[in-house]
Structure 1
Amino acid sequence: METLEKDILRGGQFLVKETNCEDVFTPEDFSEEQQMMKEAVIEFNDREVIPHKARFEAKDYALTEECMRKAGELGFLGVAVPEEYGGLGMGFVSTMLVCDYISSGTGSFSTAFGAHTGIGTMPITLYGTEEQKQKYVPQLATGEWFGAYCLTEPGAGSDANSGKTTAELTEDGKHYKINGQKMWISNAGFCKLFIVFARIEDDKNITGFIVENDQENGITLGEEEHKLGIRASSTRQVFFNDCMVPVENMLSERGNGFKIAMNALNVGRIKLAAACLDSQRRITTSAIAYANERKQFKTPIADFGAIKAKLAEMTTSAYAGESASYRAAKNIEDRIAMRVAAGNTHQEAELKGVEEYAIECSILKVAVSEDVQNCADEGIQIFGGMGFSEETPMEAAWRDARIARIYEGTNEINRMLSVGMLVKKAMKGHVDLLDPAMKVAEELMGIPSFDTPDYSELFSEEKELISKLKKVFLMVAGSAVQKFGPDLEQHQQLLMAASNILIEVYMAESTILRTEKNAKRFGEDAQKVQIAMAKLYLYNAVDIIQKNAKEGIVSFAEGDEQRMMLMGLKRFTKYVNQPNVVALRNTIAEKVKAENKYCF
C-alpha cells in the first residue's frame, strides 16, 4: 500500500504536482471482468431500452419502471452495493462503467437509474445503521424496491440547507412527524422509499430520514411534471402531511443531513459525467453515419470541411470526457482501497475516498454535461432540417442533455464550488497552493528564457504548456485570494473565470496522459488519431484559458500589476510550434468517417 499512497495525488493536487502517464487509469485498462460487464450493459440497452425510444418520448412511465426491474434482475442496480446486502460489491471504476454504458439509451431511463442507485440507495449504504442496511438495501439492490431522494423544495434549490420541511418528535418519543413539500423528485411515481431531508426544531442543519412511501401515512404525490426532456422519468412533487416516521429511521445523526446531501451529490456528480459519456459516443456515431450517407452536390457531406470540423470536435470532446472521468474514478477507487487497508470500514472508506476528489467530481460534472449538450447541438446541425424532426434521434438527445447542466447542482454552483473547495484545501494544508503561487509571482518579475527547447519527444511541448497553464491558474487565483481573502466568494464572475481555467487544465492533461500512456504501450502509429485529439483538445483549452484569465485579471488588477500579469498570460499560453488545427481535425474526421462510428 505504501507505493500506492505515493503515486496517488490527493484531490486538487493535479494542479501543483506532475502526474506520470503510467499512474493514470484509462478505458484501455479495463479488466476482462469489466469488459464483460460493459458488453452485458450495452446488450441490455440495445435490447430493452433503445428499441423503445418512441415509447419513452411518449411519457411511458410504466416502461421506465419495467426496464428498471429488468436492470435489477440482471444485478445492474446493485453494482456498488456490498455483497452482504445483496449487491455485486464491485469497485468504483466498475460502478462508473455501468453508469456510463447503461445511460445512453434515453435520458429518462438514465435518470431513473442514477436517482435510484446513486442518491436513492447510496445514502443508506454509506450512512445507515446495520439494521437499516439489512432492512432496506437488499430490496433496493435487486430492484424489488425503488428509491428516490427528497431534498429540493420550492424555496430551497441551490441553497439546499434552507429547506422548510419540518420533523417534530411525537410526545411518546417513538416517531418524527414530517410536514412539508418537496419538488422535482425523480422516481416519485413508482418508488417505495424516500430519503427525506427535514429540519428538527430550529437546528442549523437539516436531518436525513428513511421514509417508506405509504400513501396512507400522510404522503401525497403531485401530478407528473411535463418536462422539456427526460419525458418518461417520473418527476413529481411530494407532500408530507403529519407523515409518521419511526425514530430508528433517522439517517446518521441529527443535523447531519446537509453533509449527507453534499456527499451524495459528490458521487452523483462524477456518475452524472459518466452518464453523459455513452450518449455522446452514440450521438457522434449517429452524426458520422448520417454525414457519410447524406449527399449534397453529389458528395457525402462528411467530405465537406465544415462537417469534418464538427465531427472532429464532437469526437475529441467524447474522448477527453472518457479520459478525465476514468482517471478520477480510479483515483477514488485507489483512495478507498488505501483507507480500507488502513482499517476504515467500507462506509468510511467510500465516503472519504469520494470526498477527497470532490473538486474533480465538480469539474467533470460541468465539463461533460456541457460537452454532451454541444455534441447534440452539432448533431442536429449535421442532420440539418431532419435534425429538428422527432423522426431522428438528435432532437430527443438535445432535450435530454439539457437537464444535465442543472441537476446534481447547477454548473454555475459547481464552477464556484471547485475553486472554493480548492482554496479551502489549501488553507487546511492538503494542497500547497501558496508556494507554487509565490514562485509564479517571482517568475513574472524575472527575465524569460529565450533558449529554444528540445521538443523531440512525444507531447514534450504539450506537457510543458500544461504546466504553464497551471501557472496561469495560480497567477489569477493566487492574486485574487491575496486581494479579496475570505470575500473572494462574493466575486462570482471571477470565480467562474478561474474555474474555467481549472476545468480545462484537468481535462486537457487527462487527455494527454491517457494518449501518452497508450502511445508507449501500443506505439505512436497505432495512436496517431488519439494524438491528434489530445493536441486539438489542448489547442482549444489554451484559447478558453486565455479568454478567462484575461477577463479575471482585468477585473481586479490595475496599472503595472495588470500589465505584468497580462504579459505573463501571453508568455504562459504561447506555443513554440503552433499546431495545424485544420490538419488535426481532418486526421480525426477521416478516421471516424472510415469507421462510420465513434471508434475509440
Structure 2
Amino acid sequence: MSDKTRGGQFIVKETKCEDVFTPEDFNEEQLMMRDSVKEFVDKEIWPNKNRFENKDYAFTEESMRKAGDLGFLSVAVPEAYGGMGMGFVNTVLVCDYISGATGSFSTAFGAHTGIGTMPITLYGTEEQKQKYVPKLATGEWFGAYCLTEPGAGSDANSGKTKAVLSDDGTHYKITGQKMWISNAGFCSLFIVFARIEDDKNITGFILENTKDNGISFGEEEHKLGIRASSTRQVFFNETKVPVENMLAGRGEGFKIAMNALNIGRIKLAAACLDAQRRVTTGSIHYANERIQFNTAISHFGAIRSKLAEMATSCYVGESATYRATKDIEDRIAAREAEGASHQESELKGVEEYAIECSILKVAVSEDIQNCADEGIQIFGGMGFSEDTPMESAWRDARIARIYEGTNEINRMLSIGMLIKKAMKGHVDLLGPASKVQEELMGIPSFDTPDYSELFAEEKEMIGKLKKAFLMVAGGAVQKYGPDLEGHQQLLMAASDILIEIYMAESAILRTEKLAKAKGADKAKEQIAMAQLYLYKAVDIVTQKGKEGIISFAEGDEQRMMLMGLSRYTKYTNMPNVVGLRETIASKLITENAYCF
C-alpha cells in the first residue's frame, strides 16, 4: 500500500493540489444526493425551527422517521444490511447538508447514524448485524449510545456501570447510571458500556430498550441549545442483556468507544459546515436589507469585514473536511483491495486519519461558534431576539466544542497521536526536525525567490510554518521526552500550530486546483479567501510558537528558536488584508448568499 497518504504525514510532506479532493469534485451522484438532502431540510426542517426551539421532542422523532423513509439514515450502512452502502464521502456529504437548519435534528441524526448504528456495523457479529442493522437503517428503530457517567466524561474508561454474569451464564445484569444520552427518549436500542468484574477496560453491549427490564429515565434535560434533542439520564438496575449481545470481545469497549469517536469527529466537523453557510447567507441577506444612515449596512466596511471572515472560515472548513474525507475513503478502498473486510477497512481507514479528525473537530466547531457570534452582531439588537435564527444558531453551536471529546482533549490528542505515529515509524518527524535544527544553525539565504507562479509564496510559507511546528514540537520532545503529556499548555500551543497548517494548506490546495481548472481570473474570490486565512494562520503560529518556545527554552537556545520562528513566519510580500476582505465581501453582497 502506498504510504503517500498516511495520516499525519501532511506535516512533513508536500501535497500536490491534484492529490486532494474538493467540493468542486463532487460527482453527479453526490450532487444529486446533496440536492435531495437540501430539499428535505428546506421543506421539513428549516420552516419548523420554532418547533425544535420549543422542545417538541415528538417532532424530532417524526422528522427522523421521514429521514429514514428517504433513505438518509442508511447511506453508510452496507447493502447486505438494508443500507445504500455508499462511500465515506457520500456519508459525510449527507451529514453536512442535513445538519444546517437546527442542532436538535443534527444531533439526533448524528447520534443515531453514527454512535448508535456504526458500533454494530463495525464490531458486531454477523448475527448481530442481521438482527439489528436493517431496523436502524430504515428508522424503524433508533439507536442511542450510553458511555458518559457522572464520574466518567473525558476519562471514558473510568465508568462505574457494572455487568455481572448470571449464575446460569446466559446473560449479564447491568447496573449503573448514564447521563447526557442523546435520543434516550425515543430509542429502541442502546449501545451500553459497562465493566465486568475488575477488568482494566470496559465492555460494550447491545441492549434492547424493553419494558420491565430494569431501565428507567431521568426527565428531559433543559439545555442551552439543541433543545429538541432528547437528552436524558438512563438508569440500569440489573438490566438483563443476553451474552450473545456483547459487542466485540470482553474488555474491548474502550477501543469501540474511541474508534466511534474518531468517525464522530469528522462527521461533527461536517455537521457544522451547512450551519455556517446558512448563518453567513442569512447575515448577507440582512446586511443587504437593513438600512441605516440611508444606506444598506452591507456597504459599511465593518460589516463587509465580518462577512468576508465568516465566508472564509466556511470555505476553509469545507476544504479541509472533504480533503480528509476522501483520504479516508481512499484508505478504506485500498485495504479492501488487499482483501480486508469492509468492517476492518473502515475501522483502520478512519483510525489512520484520527489526527486529521481531531484537527477538524476543533477547527470547524470553533469556526461555527465565531460565525454565529458575528451573525448576531450583524443583526444587532435583532440578533439577540428569538425572532431571528442567529440566536438559536449561536446556542446550538456551543455544544460542538464539547461533545465527541472536548476541544481541549482533541488538541492534546492530535499532538499525542502524531508523536506515537513518529515512534512507530509511520511519520518521520525526527529527520525533518533535525534538518530544521541544522538550518537554524546555518546562514539564511538572501536570494530573491521567484513567486511568478500562483500560490508560490503561499506554498513556501506553508513549508516554513511546518518548519516552525517541527522546531517547537521537536524542542519540546527533546526537553521533556515521555513527560511531555504533563505539559498541557505547551501541547495546546503546538496543536494550534498543527491545526492552522492543515486548514490553511487545505484551502490553498483546493483553490490552486480550482484555479488550474477554471483559470485564476474565475477564482479570484477563492484565492482571496485562501490568502486571507493563511495571513491569519501565520499570526496564530507566531503567537503560539512564542508561547511554546518561551515555556521550555532558555538563554541562547531560546534566542535562536525565536529568531527561527521570526524567519519562518516572515512574508516577502505582505498581502493587503483589507483588499482581500473587500474582494470576498463584494462577491457575497452581489450574490446575496454564501456562493462558493
Partner residue, 1:495: 491
The residue aligned with 2:282 is 286
Q: Does 1:167 align with 2:174?
A: no
**One-letter amino acid matched to 1:591:** K
Distance 2:395 2:55 in 1: 14
Deviations along 1:272-325, whole A, 9 cap, x unmatched?
000000000000000011001101111111111111110000000000000000
Q: Which of these residues, 341, 356, 361, is aligned with residue 360 of structure 1? A: 356
Q: Deviations over 1:214-264 (max 9, x none)?
A: 131000011000000000000000000000000000000000000000000
Aligned to 1:201: 197
1:356 to partner: Cα distance = 0.1
**Residue by residue, what CA displacement relative to the aligned partner does 1:175-214 show, whole Å, maximum 9, x if unpaired?**
0000000000000000000000000000000000000011
Correspondence for 1:591: 587
Q: Distance in 2 between matches of 1:215 and 1:402?
A: 35
Query: Would you say 1:427 and 2:423 are equivalent positions?
Result: yes
2:153 is aligned to 157
Moved over 3 A (4+): none
Unpaired runs of 5+ residues, structure 2, are none
Shift of 1:115: 0.1
Quote the residue 2:110 is aligned against: 114
Percent same amino acid among aligned pairs?
Answer: 80
- DSSP 3-state at the match of 1:183: strand
Structure 2 residue corresponding to 1:442, chosen from 414, 421, 438: 438
1:213 and 2:209 aligned: yes
Q: What residue in structure 2 maps to residue 256 of structure 1? A: 252
**1:444-494: CA deviations, max 9, x gaps?**
100000111010000000000000000011000001001101100000000
Q: Which secondary structure does the structure 1 equivalent of 2:117 belong to? A: helix
User: Aligned with 2:112: secondary structure?
Assistant: helix
Residue-by-residue CA offset, 1:92-141 (whole Å, 9 max, x unaligned): 00000000000011000000000000000000000000000000000000
Please, which of 385, 390, 395 is the counterpart of residue 389 of structure 1? Answer: 385
One-letter code of the match for 2:535? Y
User: What amino acid is aligned across from residue 471 of structure 1 in structure 2?
Assistant: K
SS at match of 1:69: helix
* SS of residue matched to 1:196: strand
Distance in 1 of aligned mates of 2:116 and 2:492: 30
The answer for the alignment partner of 1:370 in structure 2 is: 366
Does 2:342 correspond to 1:336?
A: no
Equivalent position to 2:567, from 554, 568, 571? 571
Q: Does 1:416 align with 2:412?
A: yes
Query: Hey, what's the Cα distance between the residues in 2 that align with 1:426 and 1:267?
Result: 22
TM-score by length of 2: 1.00
> Quick one: distance in 1 between partners of 2:479 and 2:249?
39
| 2:99 is equivalent to residue 81 of structure 1 | no
SS in 2 for 1:343: coil
CA drift of 1:28 comes to 0.3
Q: Secondary structure at the match of 2:175?
A: strand
Task: Single out whichever of 405-414 and 295-304 deviates more from structure 2.
Answer: 295-304
Alignment partners' CA distance in 1, 2:171 and 2:478 = 50
How many residue pairs get aligned? The number is 596
Distance across 2 between alignment mates of 1:110 and 1:374: 19
**What is the rounded CA distance, in whole Å, between the counterparts of 1:300 and 1:70 in structure 2?**
40
| Structure 1: distance between partners of 2:462 and 2:78 | 39
Whether 2:299 is the aligned partner of 1:303: answer yes
- Report the 3-state secondary structure (helix = DSSP H, G, I; strand = E; otherwise coil) of the residue aligned with 1:598: coil
SS of the residue corresponding to residue 190 of structure 1 reads coil
Amino acid at match of 1:561: E
Which residue, out of 86, 89, 92, partners 1:93?
89
Whole-angstrom CA distance in 1 between matches of 2:349 and 2:288:
45
Partner letter of residue 85 of structure 2? G
Instruction: Note if 1:128 corresponds to 2:139.
Output: no
Match of 2:36 among 17, 37, 40: 40
Q: Does 1:64 align with 2:60?
A: yes
Amino acid at match of 1:508: A
Unaligned runs of 5+ in 1: none
Give the Cα–Cα distance (whole angstroms) in 2 for the partners of residues 105 and 379 of structure 1: 15
1:324 paired residue number: 320
Question: Is 1:549–2:545 an aligned residue pair?
Answer: yes
- Between 207-216 and 247-256, the greater mean CA deviation after superposition: 207-216
Please state how far the C-alpha of 1:69 moved relative to its aligned partner: 0.3
Q: Aligned to 1:560, which of 556, 560, 579?
A: 556
Q: Does 1:273 align with 2:269?
A: yes
Matched, 1:148 2:148: no
Rounded Cα–Cα distance in structure 1 between residues aligned with 2:478 and 2:227? 47
Partner of 2:533: 537
Amino acid across the alignment from 1:558: E
Structure 2: distance between partners of 1:211 and 1:331: 34
State the 1:60 CA deviation. 0.1
- Aligned to 2:251, the other structure's residue is in SS state coil
- Mapped to 1, the partners of 2:146 and 2:102 lie a distance apart of 23
Quick one: which of 503, 509, 525 aligns to 1:507? 503
Partners of 1:99 and 1:53 in 2: CA distance: 18
User: CA RMSD for the aligned pairs?
Assistant: 0.5
> Which residue type is aligned with residue 257 of structure 2?
A
Task: State the alpha-carbon separation in 1 of the partners of residues 235 and 446 from structure 2.
Answer: 68
1:49 aligns with 45
Q: Using the alignment, how far apart are the partners of 1:534 and 1:554 within structure 2?
A: 30
Secondary structure of the structure 2 residue equivalent to 1:181:
strand
CA distance in 1, matches of 2:119, 2:5: 26
Q: Report the alpha carbon displacement of residue 418 of structure 1 after superposing the two structures with TM.
A: 0.2
Q: What's the CA shift string for 1:340-381, capped at 9, x where partnerless?
A: 000000000000000000000000000000000000000000
* Aligned counterparts of 1:31 and 1:495: Cα–Cα separation in 2: 39
Partner SS, residue 242 of structure 1? strand
**AA partner of residue 538 (structure 2):** V
What amino acid maps onto 1:513 in structure 2? L
Letter in 2 for 1:111: T
